[in-house]
A and B are shown apart, each in its own frame.
Chain A
C-alpha cells in the first residue's frame, strides 16, 4: 500500500497503541512534510516516545496506519522493515553507542553492514561526519571516554553516515547543559538546511522545540492537542497546551469519594 501525497514523508492515521491493557495513544493523526523539522512535544508519560517507537516500527500498533516514505509499514515483514530502516537515521536519547566499539567503529557500523566500501573510503566518510558534528579527531576514543553531549553528537554522526533523507531524534537535549543543548539544536537546523533532511524530534524541552521546529505537535495523555507552527502553538487557547507552555502543574479535579474508592480498591 502506498500513500498519495508525495510531499508527506510520514503519515500517521488513527494510531492506537497499548502497553498490556493500558491504552497509550488514542487515535493519533500526524503528518510530516518533506524538508521540515517536526517536533513532537509533551510532558512525561504523554506517549511521545511510544509514538516515535511505533513510527520506527519498534512497537506494533494496536490499530491505525503508518506510512513512512510512501510505504505502509504496519504490515511489513521484519526483513522489509530492515530494508526501509536503512533509509533513515535515528539518534537515541542516551546515544545507544556500542561500548565495546570505538567512535570510528560505531559510526562505520551501518557502512560495514550495508555497503561494500573499502576501509579508506569508510574512514574518510567517518571523518567527514565527525567534522559535521564538530568532533574531529575523536574517532579513536571509546564511548566511555566521552561526555554526554559528545555521545549524542557521535550518535548523530552514526545516524547520518548513510546520508538519510529522514532523521529521528529522541530527546536530543535531555540531560545536557544549555550551551551544549543550544549547539545541538543549531546542528539539527544546519543538517536540515544543508542536507535537505526531514527531521522528527521528540522532546519536552520547550526552548529547544521553539528554536528548531517548523511545526510542533503537542501530545497529552496519548492525544494530539494541536499541530501547528511555533506561533500557532504559542497562541493556542487550549488549557492543557498553555499549562505545558507555562509549566503549570496539572490541576485535575479529583472527586473525594472516587479517590477513596480508588485508594481502598472498593468498586462502587
Chain B
C-alpha cells in the first residue's frame, strides 16, 4: 500500500513537471508567433467579438450589481462612522483595483475560456488540428494567435466597461436610493482614485487575459496527451472543467501577486 502511494505520488510529480514544461513551451510558441507578422486582422476581430463582444451583456449585469452591492454594504458600514462621504472612493477603488479585473476575468473564463477549450478539444478529437498541419498550416498561427490577441485586447476593454457600469451601479444605490450627495460621491472618487490605480487595474486585466487564454488553449490543444484528457466527449468535458477551475485559481493567486508587486 505504501509502495503504491509512493509510486502514485511520483507519477503525479512527474506529470506535473511534464505538464508545466509543456505549458511553458506552448506559451513560448504562441508568443513567438504573435510577434511574427503578418497577422490576419479579420480573424483577430472575429475573436475579439467572440471573447469581448459576446461577453459584454454579462459584464454589464455583473458590473451593475457588483457596484450596487458594494455601495449598499459600504453605505451601511460607513454610516456607523459618519463617513458616508467616503462611499465614492470606496466604490471606485474597490472596483478599479480589485473587483473589476477579477470578476471580469472570472466571467470571461466561464463564458469564453471554457468555450475556447471545448472548441479546440473537439477540433483535436475530430482531427481538424491534424488536418491543418497536413495542409501545411501552422495551428499556432491559425488558431492561437487571433485568440491570444483577442484576449489581451478584450479583457482590458471589458474591465473598463465593468468599472464604469459598477460606478454607475454604486451611484444608483448610494446617491439615488441612500441619499448620499452626488458631489461627495464623485468628488471622493476623484480625489482617491488616481492614474496608478487605473493602471493597476489595466495591467491586471491584461495579465488575466493572457492567463485565461493560455490555460484554455493549452488544455484544449493537448486534449489527447493530458492526463485529465483522453479522447471523446468525456475527455473534452474533463479538460473544460479543468480549465475553468485552474484559470479561476490562477486568476485569484496572480491577483494577489500583481497587487503585491505593484502596490
A binds B: yes
**Which residues of A pack against B, CB within 8 Å?**
53, 56-58, 78, 81-86, 88, 90, 92-94, 96-98, 109-110, 113-114, 158, 168
Cβ distance A112 to chain B, nearest Cβ, rounded Å = 9
B138 / chain A contacts, CB cutoff of 8 Å:
78, 82
B2 / chain A contacts, CB cutoff of 8 Å:
none
B134 / chain A contacts, CB cutoff of 8 Å:
56, 58, 85, 88, 90, 168
B137 / chain A contacts, CB cutoff of 8 Å:
82, 109-110, 113
Cβ distance A130 to chain B, nearest Cβ, rounded Å = 18
Number of A-B contacts (CB under 8 A): 51
B130 / chain A contacts, CB cutoff of 8 Å:
53, 56, 58, 92, 96
A56 to B137 alpha-carbon distance, docked (Å): 14
A85 to B132 alpha-carbon distance, docked (Å): 10
Is B57 close to A, CB under 8 A?
no
Cβ distance B54 to chain A, nearest Cβ, rounded Å = 14
Is B126 close to A, CB under 8 A?
yes
Is B133 close to A, CB under 8 A?
yes
Is B182 close to A, CB under 8 A?
no
A90 nearest in chain B by CB position: B134
Is B135 close to A, CB under 8 A?
yes
Is B128 close to A, CB under 8 A?
yes
Is B136 close to A, CB under 8 A?
yes
Asked whether, in the complex, the Cβ of A86 is within 8 Å of the Cβ of B135, the reply is yes
Cβ distance B150 to chain A, nearest Cβ, rounded Å = 15
> Which of B126, B133, B135 contacts A94, CB < 8 Å?
B126
A160 to B166 alpha-carbon distance, docked (Å): 54
Could you list 19 further interchain pairs (A-B, Cβ under 8 angstroms) beyond the known A78-B138, A90-B131?
A81-B133, A82-B136, A82-B137, A82-B138, A84-B136, A85-B133, A85-B134, A85-B136, A86-B135, A92-B127, A92-B130, A92-B131, A96-B128, A97-B128, A109-B135, A110-B135, A110-B136, A113-B136, A113-B142
**Which residues of B pack against A, CB within 8 Å?**
123, 126-128, 130-131, 133-138, 142
A88 / chain B contacts, CB cutoff of 8 Å:
134
A53 / chain B contacts, CB cutoff of 8 Å:
130
A81 / chain B contacts, CB cutoff of 8 Å:
133
Asked whether, in the complex, the Cβ of B136 is within 8 Å of the Cβ of A96, the reply is no
**5 contacts across the A-B interface (CB closer than 8 A):** A82-B138, A85-B134, A96-B131, A113-B135, A113-B137
A57 to B138 alpha-carbon distance, docked (Å): 13
B142 / chain A contacts, CB cutoff of 8 Å:
113
Which of A57, A78, A81, A82 gathers most chain B CB within 10 Å?
A: A82
A237 to B116 alpha-carbon distance, docked (Å): 53
B129 nearest in chain A by CB position: A96
A79 nearest in chain B by CB position: B138
A58 to B130 alpha-carbon distance, docked (Å): 7
A61 to B137 alpha-carbon distance, docked (Å): 22
A90 to B123 alpha-carbon distance, docked (Å): 16
A113 nearest in chain B by CB position: B137
Cβ distance A212 to chain B, nearest Cβ, rounded Å = 21
A92 to B123 alpha-carbon distance, docked (Å): 13
Asked whether, in the complex, the Cβ of B133 is within 8 Å of the Cβ of A82, the reply is yes
B141 nearest in chain A by CB position: A113
The 7 closest A-B pairs by CB, nearest first: A86-B136, A96-B131, A85-B136, A90-B134, A96-B127, A82-B136, A92-B127
A93 nearest in chain B by CB position: B127
B126 / chain A contacts, CB cutoff of 8 Å:
94, 96
A56 to B132 alpha-carbon distance, docked (Å): 12
A84 / chain B contacts, CB cutoff of 8 Å:
136
A57 / chain B contacts, CB cutoff of 8 Å:
133
A137 to B137 alpha-carbon distance, docked (Å): 27
Which of B131, B133, B137 gathers most chain A CB within 10 Å?
A: B131
Which of B133, B135, B137 gathers most chain A CB within 10 Å?
A: B135
A92 to B137 alpha-carbon distance, docked (Å): 16
A90 / chain B contacts, CB cutoff of 8 Å:
131, 134-135
A53 to B142 alpha-carbon distance, docked (Å): 21
A82 / chain B contacts, CB cutoff of 8 Å:
133, 136-138
A78 / chain B contacts, CB cutoff of 8 Å:
138
Cβ distance B173 to chain A, nearest Cβ, rounded Å = 42
Cβ distance A57 to chain B, nearest Cβ, rounded Å = 8
A94 to B122 alpha-carbon distance, docked (Å): 13
A192 to B25 alpha-carbon distance, docked (Å): 41
A53 to B130 alpha-carbon distance, docked (Å): 9
Asked whether, in the complex, the Cβ of A98 is within 8 Å of the Cβ of B128, the reply is yes
Asked whether, in the complex, the Cβ of A83 is within 8 Å of the Cβ of B131, the reply is no
A93 / chain B contacts, CB cutoff of 8 Å:
127
A90 to B134 alpha-carbon distance, docked (Å): 7
Cβ distance B66 to chain A, nearest Cβ, rounded Å = 33
